[in-house]
Amino acid sequence: MAMWLFLGSECLLFGGLISTYMLYRGRITQGPRPSQIFDIPFTSVSSFVLLMSSLTMVLAVTSTQRRDYERSKLWLTVTALLGATFVGGQVYEFTAFYNEGLGFTTNLFSSSFYTLTGFHGVHVTVGVIMLMALRGIISKNRDTGDRAEVVELIGLYWHFVDIVWIIIFTLVYLIPA
Amino acid sequence: MAIIERPTPTAAITLRAPVTPAQSMGIVRRPVTSTGWKSWVFTVDHKKIGIMYGVFAMFFFIVGGVEALLIRLQLATPDGKVLSADLYNQMFTMHATTMIFLFAMPMAAAFANYFLPLQLGARDVAFPRLNALGLWLLVAGGLILNASWFLGGAADGGWFMYSPNSGPVFSPSNGVDFWTLGVQIAGFGSLIGSINLIVTILNMRAPGMTLMKMPVFCWMILVVQFLLVFSLPVITVALVLLTFQRSFGATFFDVAQGADPLLWQHLFWIFGHPEVYVLILPAFGIITEVLPTFSRKPLFGYPFVVFSGASIGLVGFGVWSHHMFATGLGPISVAAFSIATMAIAIPTGVKIFNWTLTMWGGKIWYSTAMKFSIGLIVLFTIGGLSGVTHAVAPSDTQQTDTYYIVAHFHYVLFGGMVFGLFSGFYYWWPKVFGKMLNEKLGGWNFWLMVIGMNMTFGPMHILGLQGQPRRMYVWTEARAGEGLFNFGFWNKIASLGSLILTIGILFFLINIVYTARKGKIAPLDPWDARTLEWITTSPPKEHNFDRIPVVHHLDDFFHRKYQEDATTGELVQIATGEQLVRAEEANADAHIHLPSPSYWPIAIAVGVGTLGFGVVYGVPIMIVGVLMILGSSFGFVLEPSVAQDIDYDPPASGGQDTKELAPLG
């Protein structure tokens, strides 16, 4: 319930960021254009990694519901690793863009691009931290209420972050400015 | 705290008295005391948190009031010399910011925190530790906001902080940085608080209390929390953009790069207009409790009041651009927003009619609480009417940025919201502190505030229509006008009024001190009230209710006291409030489990505050802040909701470890 409300609130957060990006995407006075620097195959692969992590998250939820905690620990770890891979890919991508001359302060496009994707990256990172904490809870055998419910809640958050990425990927990378 | 065990129903409540708290988490000891300062700082009890919200808000009410007095002193005479232009800008910015973010919202949160669980018949909110986190984030935000006074000057861009005017070029001091971070952090606190309260209302009502049997105050709080949940993220985006612009050199509001100066205005007002209803609806909720009680009649048209409140909330999201009529939006947008704005007057009008008809034919008891409620109806209506004149776009173009606007929003916010909150103080003071506020001092308090408020803000209508602009630090004799419409005369009246207003509020503070020393002990049901918070002792016990009440009616407490006589059809008293409370005590539940206090909420808030300072003063402090947040978040998550038996010394003897009050924390 609280998680649903929080995600509702997050929708507006990303709504605001995406609107800002859409407003500013074409306003480039200096620096490289997005079509010159985007590496679509690379980002597609990292997007695929993130989407696969949704699948492993589902597996984690179902195995927790079956009370198969060893399995759920495994799937949570895999999900966290996939998420971390995605964030790593993003860091690599940012570095590459920066070397090609697109700094955070270069133009309106770059500021809003880095802010939007960076915010998403931070959300994934927070998600990874939550997954690790969740793994900690399960392995420490701490009694914090209904475990399946907790895993499901974190799962909700994780799927939300994935869905947002689908939107961002489409709007930012695939639709040409 | 934590586990309250009663071997027999008649025995006094025994708290497990902890002597030495034992190790928890292997790192720190878990707090389990229930007395002393630690019991406040680490508490998760919604009542203590509510009181702390109230104290915090009252402090900043005084700070904001002093800022307002300085403004009025500066404007009392032509070419005032009290404040410099720069200081004046800081003063009105911080006056508005303080009053909105550090007084009005926290005070509403104080009432919501304290009375929501009591009115719902619950023992605490849904997420007690998140509740504490919300409070401490607000405190961190408030401190950061006001730290700027001592660290090179406060923010000076107005509470709306229009960009690019608030960019580094036009506002070089650190004030705006502190402002964005302070508001951001306080906003994050209220987001957490609002999610918590929504879940509380929807999931934790007493058995039998359907949504349509819920007190109107709870309904209004519910609407407000939804407004907050969906408007705060938008201001978060705006603030993030501005922080990045100022601290990390982003270009969002750099017009030379082709940025759109309206972006900030849209983002701000998508938040800013719902915020207006966030401020007023809790006050509406309070007086909707007060009016029926002191008219000794049920509320007229309960469903209408509820649904008009909800529709105010809904339409409130579709009117933000009426703050921007003067920016040249184009005729279609202006017309649409103009119509939406006029439409919002309808549900508001419905409420005013309902309140009036509640009083109609009632046996009205003019207590101070009732006087403030009636004051709200009258003064808010005046402010509402001038509000409709801004909805008409051509007329608004004339009024924009004049004192007419200042007059309007002070009538709705001061005459509306502040009067509602004061009504709540007088109504619920006996509940919270067990003593009656003095009614005689209350009378002085009320009448001086009414006179002062009308003298201060009434003349501003005239000043505004005569063309005195807002936010100008001086006005000159040469352009003051003549006769009845002379600026000098009305400005003097306004400044004099603000002094009277101050004296009125001083009477309230005197009243608090007087009551604390010599106040009468409050009876259990001093007002012959109608809702569930009165079915327990005053002040309420730590666990609120000895027995969770089962609800059969709207205004259930009233229906337990009075019943309709079958033959005559008249109401007959069948029990007094006192008897009901004693009956509850006699049948108390044997096992009551409450969540235990926790260090982590305040620890996280300290981390967030450090992170905030880091944004201004450099990356190393940021890293420290992030590490603090991460560490304490892990502590927060891994901590069980109730202190374990080993946290007590001697170890508690067990008891069922239920999680009914803090399922996920």
Backbone angles phi, psi at B564, to 5 degrees: -75, 130
Q: What is the mean pLDDT of residues A54-80?
A: 90
Q: What is the mean pLDDT of residues B468-490?
A: 85
- Going from N- to C-terminal start, the domains of chain B cover 1-44+639-665, 46-259, 523-589
A28 within a domain of the structure (yes/no): no
pLDDT tier at A21, thresholds 50, 70, 90: confident
Q: Please check whether residue B228 is in contact with residue B273, taking contact to mean a CB–CB distance below 8 angstroms.
A: no
Residues of B (168-207) whose Cβ lies below 8 Å from A: 191, 195-196, 198-199, 202-203
Gap between the Cα atoms of B336 and B590, Å rounded: 59
- Interchain CB distance below 8 Å, A13 and B657: no
A108 within a domain of the structure (yes/no): yes
Percent of chain A whose predicted confidence (pLDDT) is above 70 = 96
Angle between helices B302-315 and B262-295 (to 10 degrees): 170
Mean pLDDT, chain B, integer: 87
- Interchain CB distance below 8 Å, B240 and A115: yes
In a 3-state reduction of DSSP, which class is residue B74?
Answer: helix
Maximum Cα–Cα distance across chain B: 82
The number of distinct structural domains making up chain A is 1
- A176 to chain B, any CB pair closer than 8 A? The answer is no
The predicted structure's pLDDT at residue B134: 94
Pairing of strands B571-573, B562-564: antiparallel
Query: In terms of residue numbers, what domain contains A15?
Result: 2-23+40-174
- A141 to chain B, any CB pair closer than 8 A? The answer is no
**Placement of tokens 């270069």 in the chain:** A106
- A5 to chain B, any CB pair closer than 8 A? The answer is yes
In a 3-state reduction of DSSP, which class is residue B23?
Answer: strand
pLDDT in tens, B298-320: 999 999 999 999 999 999 998 99
CATH architecture group of domain B46-259: Up-down Bundle (1.20)
Percent of chain B whose predicted confidence (pLDDT) is above 90 = 59
Gap between the Cα atoms of B540 and B23, Å rounded: 31
The predicted structure's pLDDT at residue B21: 42
- B630 to chain A, any CB pair closer than 8 A? The answer is yes
Give the closest residue to B179 by CA, choosing from B109, B102, B253: B102
Percent of chain B whose predicted confidence (pLDDT) is above 70 = 91
Q: Residue A6 is part of a domain; what is its CATH number?
A: 1.20.120.80
- A177 to chain B, any CB pair closer than 8 A? The answer is no
Q: What is the mean pLDDT of residues B606-617?
A: 90
- Interchain CB distance below 8 Å, B236 and A136: no
* Helix, strand, coil in percent for chain A, rounding step 5: 80, 0, 20
Q: What is the mean pLDDT of residues B129-139?
A: 93
Distance from B233 to chain A by nearest Cα, in Å? 5
- A26 to chain B, any CB pair closer than 8 A? The answer is no
Gap between the Cα atoms of B241 and B253, Å rounded: 8
Sequence-distant (6+) residues with CB within 8 A of B506 are: none
- A91 to chain B, any CB pair closer than 8 A? The answer is no
pLDDT in tens, B372-406: 999 999 999 999 999 999 899 889 988 999 999 99
- A104 to chain B, any CB pair closer than 8 A? The answer is yes
Q: How many CB pairs under 8 A join A and B?
A: 113
Nearest CA in chain B to A26: B258
Gap between the Cα atoms of A46 and A49, Å rounded: 5
Higher pLDDT, B437 or B3: B437
- Interchain CB distance below 8 Å, A108 and B254: yes
Per DSSP, the residues of B125-159 read -S-HHHHHHHHHHHHHHHHHHHHGGGTT----STT
Instruction: Name the range with the highest mean pLDDT among A25-39, A131-145, B508-522.
Output: B508-522
Gap between the Cα atoms of B551 and B218, Å rounded: 15
A33 within a domain of the structure (yes/no): no
